[in-house]
Amino acid sequence: MDEQALKDLLLRENPAFRKLNEEHRACEEALEKLRRKAGLSAAEEVEEKALKKRKLALKDRMYIMMEDYRRSR
């Protein structure tokens, strides 16, 4: 099963994976709002850095879940 098919399967069948994906998407949306600004304040720069770290951590957790699923089959 390819990566996208596995992701789609887990999104349908696994509520925890779906929640991680929703949080990941929310981080991306917040980052996109910050990217649209002409300049960021110091607080916004800190927020941007925190969002990027959170987004990466969520992605890592999603990939671990995908690997765990592959191993269990």
What is the 3 state secondary structure string of 37-73? CCCCCHHHHHHHHHHHHHHHHHHHHHHHHHHHHHHHC
Tally of CB atoms within 10 A around 54: 16
- 10-25 confidence digits (pLDDT tens): 999 999 999 999 999 9
Domain of 26, in residue numbers:
3-72
pTM for the whole thing? 0.91
| Number of domains, the chain | 1
pLDDT at 1: 85
- 24-71 confidence digits (pLDDT tens): 999 999 999 999 998 999 999 999 999 999 999 999 999 999 999 999
In this predicted structure, the answer to whether residue 73 has a pLDDT above a threshold of 90 is no
Residue 73 token pair: 């089959």
Q: Which residues contact 66 (CB under 8 A, 6 or more apart)?
A: 3, 6, 7, 10
